Amino acid sequence: MGAIATDFQDFLEAHLGQELLRFTTAGSVDDGKSTLIGRLLHDTKSVYEDQLAAVKKSRVNRAANGHVDLSLLTDGLKAEREQGITIDVAYRYFSTSRRKFIIADTPGHEQYTRNMATGASTADVAVVLIDARAYLREGKLLPQSRRHTYIASLLGIPHVVAAVNKMDLVGYSEETFRAIRAEFVEFSTQLGLKSVTVIPVSALEGDNVVSQSKAMPWYDGPTLLEFLETVPLAEAGHDGPLRFPVQLVQRPDANFRGFAGQVARGVLRAGDRVMALPSRRETTVKRIVTWDGDLPAAAYPQSVTVELEDEIDLSRGEMLVPSSSVGELALPSIARRFRAMVVWMHEQPLVVGRTYLVKHTTRTARATVKAIRYRVDVGSLEHQQADRLVMNEIAEVELETNLPLFFDAYAESRTTGSLILIDGLTNATVGAAMIVGASESEGADGEQAALVLVAGRAELAERVRDGMEARGKRAVIVDDPLIPIESLVAAIRALSLAGVTAISARSLSVNELEQVRGFAEGRIVLAESLEDDEVLRLSGVEA
């Protein structure tokens, strides 16, 4: 935003075409993170005069040698100004002629892992601060720096840059920088990080933050700002097969029924065949409607409204995915049981056996913690046994939901691989989870039954239907007098094609049952002598 373009139209055009880059900053208490952000804002002329004046006359000044305390530009709340620490995620904004930036400024204090995870969840880049002087003192990276880098990798941030700060306090020593860089790169490689950059800076003096440092002629890489301005962003639509979670159904009048949502992954194209989950009904995208006119195609993060060719049953919490003709690989996992890395964020610990609410894309379900597979020691990255998880701990957890979720592994898709856990009693957001994958023990219980046969037990038939409907599954009792017994198999077949479970209290002959098996092998629940509860469980209705 620095210089004013003489030709203002050119300026407007440039600003209207800017890209958006979101980055997060992580550092330990004394790494000088607030000063670094203050420096970025100050040197890109993003600080207003009155804000700077207020900082200059502030009662607090922790900077030495007559420097303006730039950290005061970012320490927002009273408590922080008094204690000199940052206690919550704060968002900052600045722009240059090349990009607009959103900074999630996250605190580095030991107990605030949850804040770092929060800031990291939406970031394209993580800036991890390393205090060069503390490194010299300890002879190794501080545990916090390792933890921050681990969280950046866990949250799937595409690019990680280490800003080695306070180079002025180590005599701008190339040797010190090289030692830190070697250790950082080794640790990052261990974590599987693919894009890692290390830059020597002094936030206090302004070296290599915005302008190239004269004090470190041995460094010929980019300044921090140059890196942020040029690091490549993901291309739209290159992120895999279509996922369109329905946010809400728009019915402004009898002639229009549209499905509003954000393309979470892949590309949505007018004219494409798509499949609705969980019904597995297929149809074609008729129009992609927006206020600015119909679009031929849309990709993440566009928000659009989809009109479909056929009247199919589709509502909030359900999803449009590629047609099955594209192949099974293009489908998300459809499962109730899965493994996820959980960051715990609440004083009340996570306990095995407890049930929480989960919000995954636009779907809310109940999830029970079946097991903690291991807890991660974020210092050593070792796996440990655990039966509970306290605040700021991280573990791989096995969860089972009452409804199937349609998901991808978080490593493939941050939007369809993430979920939050909510305490159903206090409504607090207690955890964040990144899905690893469906559990192997899942078996067939993710698949909706084609037929539930409860011969002679009409009341049970109703309980099964009501239970399935309450869980968002469509089910119909086919014992209507207008469906003659000889047409029962045809009715079950038709419903099965529509993704609806047929329930009957009538009796089928062995021959008829064989016919049903022909198209629904493995998706038939026979009550026979089973208890009611067992039939409900097999039908996907929890007793």
Partner 1 sequence: MTKTTALDIDSTLLPARLNHLQALEAESIVILREAVAEFARPVMLYSIGKDSSVMLRLAQKAFYPGKIPFPLLHVDTSYKFPEMITFRDAYAKEIGAELIVHRNEEAIAAGANPYTLGTQNCCGLLKTRSLLDALAEGGFDAAFGGARRDEEKSRAKERVYSFRDSAGQWDPKNQRPELWSLYNSRLRKGESIRVFPLSNWTELDIWLYLYAEKIPIVPLYFAKERPLIVRGGQMTLYHDGLKLLPGEEVRSEKVRMRSLGCLPCTGAMKSEADTLPKIIEELLTFRRSERENRAIDHDEEGSMESKKREGYF
Chain residues 272-311 in contact with partner 1, contact rule CB under 8 A = 289-299, 301-303, 305
Chain residues 137-176 in contact with partner 1, contact rule CB under 8 A = none
Q: Residue length, the chain?
A: 543
Q: What is the sign of the dihedral through the CA atoms of 121, 127, 130 and 131?
A: negative
Q: What is the sign of the dihedral through the CA atoms of 273, 275, 281 and 285?
A: negative
Choice from 28, 74, 96, 149 touching partner 1 (CB under 8 A):
74
CA 321 to chain centroid: 18
The tokens for 207 are 């070296």
Q: Please identify, among the stretches 376-384, 398-406, 416-424, 449-457, the one whose residues bind partner 1 according to the rule CB under 8 A.
A: 416-424
Choice from 34, 115, 145, 401 touching partner 1 (CB under 8 A):
115
CB of 140 to partner 1, least distance (A): 31
The tokens for 182 are 């070697």
Cα–Cα distance, 81 to 187 (Å, whole number): 34
CA 375 to chain centroid: 20
CB of 528 to partner 1, least distance (A): 42
CA 163 to chain centroid: 26
Give residue 68's identity as a one-letter amino acid code: V
CA 271 vs CA 170, 243, 245, 387, 411: distances in Å: 62, 16, 18, 50, 30
Chain residues 350-409 in contact with partner 1, contact rule CB under 8 A = 357, 359-360, 362
Between the two ends of the chain, the Cα-to-Cα distance in Å is 61
**6 lines the binding site for partner 1 (CB under 8 A):** no
Cα–Cα distance, 111 to 401 (Å, whole number): 30
Q: Please identify, among the stretches 113-121, 167-175, 468-476, 526-534, the one whose residues bind partner 1 according to the rule CB under 8 A.
A: 113-121
Task: Pick the closer one to partner 1 by CB: 48 or 519.
Answer: 48
CB of 350 to partner 1, least distance (A): 14
Task: Pick the closer one to partner 1 by CB: 27 or 261.
Answer: 261
CB of 292 to partner 1, least distance (A): 5
**251 lines the binding site for partner 1 (CB under 8 A):** yes
Show Cβ contacts of residue 125 under 8 Å, excluding neighbours closer than 6 positions.
21, 22, 23, 24, 157, 158, 159, 160, 161, 228, 231
CB of 521 to partner 1, least distance (A): 38
**50 lines the binding site for partner 1 (CB under 8 A):** yes
Size of the site for partner 1 (CB under 8 A): 93
Chain residues 28-47 in contact with partner 1, contact rule CB under 8 A = 45, 47
Choice from 10, 67, 91, 381 touching partner 1 (CB under 8 A):
91
**51 lines the binding site for partner 1 (CB under 8 A):** yes
Binding mask 220-239 for partner 1 (x = CB under 8 A): -------------x-xxxx-
Task: Pick the closer one to partner 1 by CB: 215 or 233.
Answer: 233
CB of 167 to partner 1, least distance (A): 28
Cα–Cα distance, 446 to 514 (Å, whole number): 23
Choice from 154, 419, 436, 478 touching partner 1 (CB under 8 A):
419
**8 lines the binding site for partner 1 (CB under 8 A):** yes
- Cβ atoms of 120 and 126 closer than 8 Å: yes
Q: Dump the DSSP string for 519-537.
A: HHTT-EEE-TT--HHHHHH
- DSSP code, position 207: B
CB of 193 to partner 1, least distance (A): 20
**429 lines the binding site for partner 1 (CB under 8 A):** yes
